[in-house]
Structure 1
Amino acid sequence: MSRERLQALREELARQQVQGFLVPRGDEYQNEYVPAADERLAWLTGFGGSAGIAAVGAEHAALFVDGRYTLQAQQQLGDQPIDLETLDANAIANWLCDQLKQGEALGYDPRLHTEPGLALLKKRLGERDIALRPLEQNPIDAVWTDRPAGPCGPARPHPHTFTGEHSAQKRQRIAARLADKRADALWLPNPEVCAWLFNIRGDDVPHLPVALASALLYRDGTATLYLAREAMGEALIEHLNSDVDIVNDKEALFDAAKRHHVSKIWVDPLITNCWTLQRLRALEIELLQERDPITGAKACKNAVELAGSQAAHERDGAALCEFLAELPDAVAAGAANNSFGELEAVELLRSKREQREGFRDDSFDSISGYGPNGAIVHYCVSRESSLPMKAEGIYLIDSGGQYPDGTTDVTRTVPLGEFPEHARDHFTRVLKGHIAIATLRFPKGTCGEQLDAFARKSLWDVGLDYAHGTGHGVGSFLSVHEGPQRIGKGASGVALQPGMILSNEPGFYLTGQYGIRIENLVFVKESERHNGFLEFEELTLAPIERRLIKEELLTEQERSWLNRYHQRVRETLMPLVNEKTQAWLEEATQAI
């Protein structure tokens, strides 16, 4: 299939007079999760991961992915005529410089890229006299004959009981920042910042409860909001009131900027696409290019949001425990005829969450990996790839739920029977890293990259590591992967602040055998012992598998943390689970 699609794409590139094209995994809003109509990378290559980019030349094509997706990409590419490369700006530039000749042009869709994202490539191609040319029509859209229609579901108000702050208060708070910068307006480029500022949610993007939207916020706290006509309803209009002008045409946002005499506009170049910046410059509007103030503001949850997240995690933890309690029997029952596998496990867990109050959706596609599939960091199970599970080996389940009061994300590693002895050493070293982060106390102003090594030290001691970040930010009934906060090797320059929610998820992956990851969500709070210091508090409530622990590797402090955590899990969840799970929970949380 890919050969025919590549050929059709190359013919369209020739028609548009370019010799190459970039195919990112994203949409015009720079969303991580995208509607089906924007799954261009998957359509062309078959790769279904959430991060990657393809480059297509006249004779060769390549898919670039990071370490999380290497094994998955190998499987999904199969024998297609597409090279697999490491996702790195220099690697992409080198590959394209080898494929294109002096005087040729690389096409790109300016709605799908940011200027900082293209900066290095533009420089490198320019040195070779190769043009980087924006195209008016995406050439894939021209040849994708059965492309799905774009989403246009209703937008709905998100109640104050969940947000803890009215939209008008948020708008005034952010507008004050505009006055400080002497900017007339702030450009809101994507649905997440719009969802937070206007307290609205929707169902236009898989796993991300947003309506597709963009907006302009003015210095007086009023705004112009773009939503599709189908997204509007009386409740939404009443919720936003006359301070927010709703338009149904994206072009109307630029007209509104002129009508409001905007001469200087604040835009975040990291989340605003090239096409928008080109349009604003054409209006001769001065651009203040800085990190947008909403991303940081929504990262720091207020007391209402944190209380909601705690409540959501209790219900979600109860659902996960009922799943884990039933899993051994389900595996045993299906072992004789291979009827219970990775996909059936996902369906069982989903059914447990659906029984919990407020459950709206999974917060991402569950990573359900048995044995060797668990070693694929961001494995995406399908009917074709699903392995039947047996009462042996190791199973990894990474999943989460979307609830109106909170977003969850949790990973547990489960032995289903006999397993290799060396897995206990690997699991315990991952656990030591997890506890190291959970118990850290650090001074205000500390960035996530300064904490990352604590999670890896026990693995590093024996020459091991993992190829993903240790922690990502999480939204409040928004994205399960939310910036700007993170814990990882790469520099973020973002200091952790009270109210931020992050994951704590060190791991280890032995190709062909198993994957290990232990993930809880935590939130940042003021230290109770030391003024000027911060620490973490657990949100996730679920037992950590004791059968995989090599107890002699744990310190007394680590044992104490695990026992206290398990006591809290047991006391909190016992009233929320069924009788079978109560017996399982009592055993799973015994002290070591």
Structure 2
Amino acid sequence: MSQERLTALQHALAGQQVQGFLIPRCDEYQNEYVPAADERLAWLTGFTGSAGLAAVAGDRTALFVDGRYTLQAAQQIGSQPIEQQNLAPADIANWLCAALKEGDTLGYDPRLHTEPGLAPLKKRLDECGIHLHALDANPIDRIWDNRPAAPCGAARPHPLTFTGEDSASKRQRIAEQLATKKQDALWLANPEVCAWLFNIRGSDIPHLPVALSMGFLYQDGSAVLYLAESATTEALRQHLGRDVEIVHDKLALFTAAERQHVQKVWADPLLTNCWTLHELRNREIKILLERDPITLAKARKNAVELEGSRAAHIRDGAALCEFLAELPAAVAGGRQDKSFGELEAVQLLRSKRELREGFTDDSFDTISGYCGNGAIVHYRVSPQSSLPMRAAGIYLIDSGGQYPDGTTDVTRTVALGEPPPRAKEHFTRVLKGHIAIASLRFPKGTCGEQIDAFARKSLWDVGLDYAHGTGHGVGSFLSVHEGPQRIGKANTNVALEAGMIVSNEPGFYLTGEYGIRIENLVFVKESAEYPGFLEFEALTMAPIERQLVDPELLADSELIWLNRYHATVRETLLPLVSEQTRNWLVAATEPLSKAQ
């Protein structure tokens, strides 16, 4: 952040007669990944993480981040006059109450916030006599010179061979729930919801194959959909059919709903921004604020989606193995360029994925962390931060790909030389947690928070833990972070159900030295042996670093699991990799045993 930007923002706030302003890291669709035109938080502070919020209050500025980004935020703030704080509603509210005074006004952009997100702030600010005020225009947009243009790429049909269900069937299925709830329409709040419901994809957001869109689904299964004019092709119109009206202005959505005599709308409060709710209430439309039924329907993958995900993970695993097989020689200087670091590793892995059928993009910015950078949970390598790698220490690579038949996400921790002291113990304890989740059988109705401790127990046994969730949902050629299911400490009250895809990624991070994470994607399936129970099946196919495993710390059942997994990886991937990689793959999947 340049001092000029902060000064310009403070002048703009004074012009709107507010003393403070909130800058979240999101867009009007509440997307995790946002177009360059919506990277307001990064423009002001330099922080590029996927979750955070800045607040300007008088002459003070703070950046709020969670435990995943503590180290990254400190590095990116540098010497700027920004206070780093914890991203928790109570901490944000307390800071604002200290930085502002009674009678002051805190401005916010209603398109970038949800009512549940603002509720705890509003309650505390009211107690302090500070007013929360929605601004008509975002002041940053007025002072951001050379702001990137909003994306407007073409939306495209996503074939039935990948979706397993046509849009008309999906719309009718969801519309039946509208009738049950006695609602006239469902608010389609974001591009992911629209992508699933209408079987469309796009390229408007980095790593997320969607077109910027929102709309209404009516009780009869017809719909109105907002898309930019440049996003709408004749092929798309034919795909959507006569029952889907396309508009190119967001306010036209509400006009279309009024023509349909919509009086009651179901809207997800966690997805719907404050501006939309204001527009609905201005039209005296009653709102049912409950979780969007599409979110859960989208999370339950059908047989076609699961088969596609299996296929995508196999191709992706082959690409990852090609990368891992070449990595030691690249680090040792075996490539033409003698300098090989974290950034070059990202480029090498990307080049391997690009050779695989259907690859369209990374599913997120690859986390490529060598030694101390690996301890930054969501580290994003840059030319300035990239460390040169050598044949020593530990390297963490967390990456994924977008393919038309599936979305992948995998983390492997690699020993580039003799492991540092206790690294094998730390890695093996993380592996024990990974195996505990992977091999778990649990009754239907179990939520992710009820099984999270299985992943952490081995670390807890020696007073260790990690500051991130154990697992997140994953979409089908959609977001790599998809709800509502997850595995973590926080309550979700969302039961894991057959067909859901979730990550299994316990970790451990020793600040300044190394990071360890082992991540596979798994899907939930019915137990064939025990009726009423569920279990996981692995989708990810890639070896787990044998050099970092201490077999003596593993129970016999854990060792059996690891050897069986490696046998499956070897059998599945051997036909798909080069001869050089075959030799590496055989060695990387050799059975491990305890000392006799």
State TM-score, norm by structure 2: 0.99
Deviations 1:221-245 (A, max 9, x none): 0000000000011110100010100
User: Matches of 1:536 and 1:83 in 2, distance apart?
Assistant: 43
State the one-letter code of the partner of 1:403: Y
The alpha carbon displacement at 1:337 in A equals: 8.1
Map 1:376-415 to 2 at 5 A: 376-415=376-415
1:338–1:389 Cα contact (<8 Å) kept: no
Map 1:51-130 to 2 at 5 A: 51-130=51-130
Query: After the TM superposition, which parts of structure 1 deviate over 4 Å for at least 4 consecutive aligned residues?
Result: 334-338
The alpha carbon displacement at 1:127 in A equals: 1.1
Map 1:169-208 to 2 at 5 A: 169-208=169-208
Deviations 1:462-482 (A, max 9, x none): 000000000000000000000
Deviations 1:245-271 (A, max 9, x none): 011111110101111000100001110
Q: Is residue 463 of structure 1 aligned with residue 463 of structure 2?
A: yes
Deviations 1:294-347 (A, max 9, x none): 000000000000000000000000000000000000000169986100000000
State the one-letter code of the partner of 2:394: I
Q: Is residue 488 of structure 1 aligned with residue 492 of structure 2?
A: no
Question: Secondary structure of 2:339's match?
Answer: coil
User: Matches of 2:528 and 2:516 in 1, distance apart?
Assistant: 32
User: Matches of 2:189 and 2:44 in 1, distance apart?
Assistant: 27
User: Matches of 1:279 and 1:129 in 2, distance apart?
Assistant: 27
The alpha carbon displacement at 1:419 in A equals: 2.1
1:335–1:389 Cα contact (<8 Å) kept: no
Deviations 1:156-215 (A, max 9, x none): 000000000000000000000000000000000100000000000000000000000001
The alpha carbon displacement at 1:367 in A equals: 0.1
1:335–1:390 Cα contact (<8 Å) kept: no
Corresponding residue pairs, total: 592
Percentage of matched positions with identical amino acids = 74
User: Matches of 1:6 and 1:570 in 2, distance apart?
Assistant: 55
User: Matches of 1:566 and 1:335 in 2, distance apart?
Assistant: 29
User: Matches of 2:269 and 2:479 in 1, distance apart?
Assistant: 20
2:441–2:534 Cα contact (<8 Å) kept: yes
* Cα RMSD (Å): 0.9
2:191–2:210 Cα contact (<8 Å) kept: yes
Inter-CA distance 117–132: structure 2 relative to 1 (3 Å threshold):
same
User: Matches of 1:408 and 1:509 in 2, distance apart?
Assistant: 23
Aligned to 1:4: 4
Runs (5+) with no aligned partner, structure 2: none
Aligned to 2:319: 319
The alpha carbon displacement at 1:128 in A equals: 1.5
State the one-letter code of the partner of 1:332: A
User: Matches of 1:3 and 1:525 in 2, distance apart?
Assistant: 54
Map 1:305-316 to 2 at 5 A: 305-316=305-316
Question: Secondary structure of 1:27's match?
Answer: coil
The alpha carbon displacement at 1:129 in A equals: 1.4
Deviations 1:257-294 (A, max 9, x none): 11100010000111000000001000000001100000
Question: Secondary structure of 2:512's match?
Answer: coil
Question: Secondary structure of 2:332's match?
Answer: helix
The alpha carbon displacement at 1:446 in A equals: 0.2
Question: Secondary structure of 2:68's match?
Answer: coil
State the one-letter code of the partner of 1:446: T
Question: Secondary structure of 1:133's match?
Answer: strand
Question: Secondary structure of 1:428's match?
Answer: helix
1:335–1:388 Cα contact (<8 Å) kept: no
User: Matches of 2:257 and 2:245 in 1, distance apart?
Assistant: 12
Q: Is residue 516 of structure 1 aligned with residue 516 of structure 2?
A: yes
State the one-letter code of the partner of 1:504: N
Aligned to 1:445: 445
Deviations 1:397-417 (A, max 9, x none): 000000000000000000001
The alpha carbon displacement at 1:2 in A equals: 2.5
User: Matches of 2:121 and 2:98 in 1, distance apart?
Assistant: 13
Deviations 1:65-110 (A, max 9, x none): 0000000000000000000011100000000000111111000000
State the one-letter code of the partner of 1:373: N
1:20–1:57 Cα contact (<8 Å) kept: yes
2:419–2:548 Cα contact (<8 Å) kept: no
User: Matches of 2:371 and 2:352 in 1, distance apart?
Assistant: 23
User: Matches of 1:6 and 1:335 in 2, distance apart?
Assistant: 45
User: Matches of 2:338 and 2:103 in 1, distance apart?
Assistant: 58
User: Matches of 2:226 and 2:532 in 1, distance apart?
Assistant: 42
Map 1:211-222 to 2 at 5 A: 211-222=211-222
Question: Secondary structure of 2:509's match?
Answer: strand
User: Matches of 1:136 and 1:178 in 2, distance apart?
Assistant: 32
Aligned to 2:503: 503
The alpha carbon displacement at 1:155 in A equals: 0.2
Q: Which moved more, 1:58-67 or 1:336-345?
A: 336-345
2:469–2:488 Cα contact (<8 Å) kept: yes
Map 1:160-309 to 2 at 5 A: 160-309=160-309
Question: Secondary structure of 2:333's match?
Answer: helix
Question: Secondary structure of 2:522's match?
Answer: strand
User: Matches of 1:130 and 1:67 in 2, distance apart?
Assistant: 28
Question: Secondary structure of 1:494's match?
Answer: coil
State the one-letter code of the partner of 1:392: A
Question: Secondary structure of 1:205's match?
Answer: coil
Aligned to 2:473: 473
User: Matches of 1:130 and 1:48 in 2, distance apart?
Assistant: 30
Inter-CA distance 204–293: structure 2 relative to 1 (3 Å threshold):
same
User: Matches of 2:304 and 2:98 in 1, distance apart?
Assistant: 54
User: Matches of 2:400 and 2:351 in 1, distance apart?
Assistant: 13
User: Matches of 1:128 and 1:393 in 2, distance apart?
Assistant: 51
Aligned to 1:430: 430
Question: Secondary structure of 1:485's match?
Answer: strand
The alpha carbon displacement at 1:543 in A equals: 0.2
2:499–2:524 Cα contact (<8 Å) kept: yes
1:155–1:211 Cα contact (<8 Å) kept: yes
2:225–2:246 Cα contact (<8 Å) kept: yes
State the one-letter code of the partner of 2:289: Q
2:393–2:417 Cα contact (<8 Å) kept: yes
Inter-CA distance 352–124: structure 2 relative to 1 (3 Å threshold):
same
User: Matches of 1:437 and 1:167 in 2, distance apart?
Assistant: 35
Aligned to 1:156: 156
Runs (5+) with no aligned partner, structure 1: none
State the one-letter code of the partner of 2:16: Q
User: Matches of 1:4 and 1:525 in 2, distance apart?
Assistant: 55
User: Matches of 2:531 and 2:124 in 1, distance apart?
Assistant: 49
